[in-house]
Amino acid sequence: MDKVNLAEKLDTFSEHWSPRIVGSYNGNDIMVVKAEGEFTWHSHPETDDFFLVLKGEIDIELRDQTVTLGPGEIFVVPKGVEHRPVARCEAHLMIIEPAGTPNTGDPETAVTKVTI
């Protein structure tokens, strides 16, 4: 058992919208991701989507509202709700979701998540 330094983990990669697994918790992946620009509109029919901003700012666009998050703020998108994260400048996030959940909501378009 080792502690995990999220800033150090984020320093190991530069790709945007490519989550890296840094730990697990009760069958959930704990991930860090660098975000910049617009992600794709998607939903997760089986699970909520948890976002915690570590650095920067991100908008979580929903079809009827936009939620803006800054450092230290969280937002949970309920399962089945279509959403699109947007980062105007690079932002660093922690995301928690059940292991194996495709980041786009579709296994065919999802990135392969790597453990770092």
64-83 residue pLDDT tens? 999 999 999 999 999 999 99
- The domain locations on the chain are 6-115
Return the pLDDT at 115: 85
- Strand 58-62 relative to strand 74-77: parallel, antiparallel, unpaired? unpaired
List the one residue out of 93, 97, 85 whose CA is nearest residue 33: 93
Q: How much is the average pLDDT of 54-73?
A: 98
- pTM exceeding the 0.75 threshold for the entire prediction: yes
What's the CATH architecture for 6-115?
Sandwich (2.60)
**In the prediction, which pLDDT does 14 show?**
96
